[in-house]
Amino acid sequence: MEKEAQPPGTVKGTTLCAAGPHTPSMRTTGTTVTEGCRAVRKGFRDQQRLLIVAVVAVLLCCTAGRGDGPMRGGGTVSAGSRGVLGVVSTAADGVEPLRTGLVEPAIALGWQVAVTLTPNAGQWLRANGELDRLEAVTGLPVRDTPRLPTEARPHPVANCYVVAPASANHVAKPATGIADNQALTQVSEALGTIGVPVVVFPQVNAAHVRHPAWDRHIAALRKADVEVIHGPDVWPLHEPREGPAVRQLPWTAITESIQHVTARAARHPL
Write the Ramachandran bin of 13: left for phi over 0, alpha for psi from -120 to 50, otherwise beta: left
Q: What is the DSSP string of 128-179?
A: TTHHHHHHHHHSSPPB-SPPPTTSPPSSPPPSEEEEEEE-HHHHHHHHTT--
pLDDT of residue 34: 53
Task: List Cα–Cα distances, 84 to 15, 65, 157, 162, 239, in angstroms.
Answer: 65, 15, 7, 11, 36
Angle between helices 168-175 and 214-223 (to 10 degrees): 60
pLDDT of residue 58: 40
H or E element at residue 223? helix 214-223
C-alpha dihedral (59, 61, 62, 63), degrees to nearest 10: 90
List the chain domain ranges.
9-66, 69-267
pLDDT of residue 222: 97
- For a pLDDT cut of 70, what percent of the chain falls above it? 70
Is it the case that residue 125 has pLDDT exceeding 90? yes
Predicted TM-score (pTM) of the model is 0.71
- For a pLDDT cut of 90, what percent of the chain falls above it? 65
**Which spans in 29-100 are helix H?**
34-66, 98
The string of pLDDT tens digits covering residues 14-30 is: 444 444 444 444 444 44
pLDDT of residue 267: 78
**69-267, what's its fold?**
Rossmann fold (3.40.50)
pLDDT of residue 44: 55
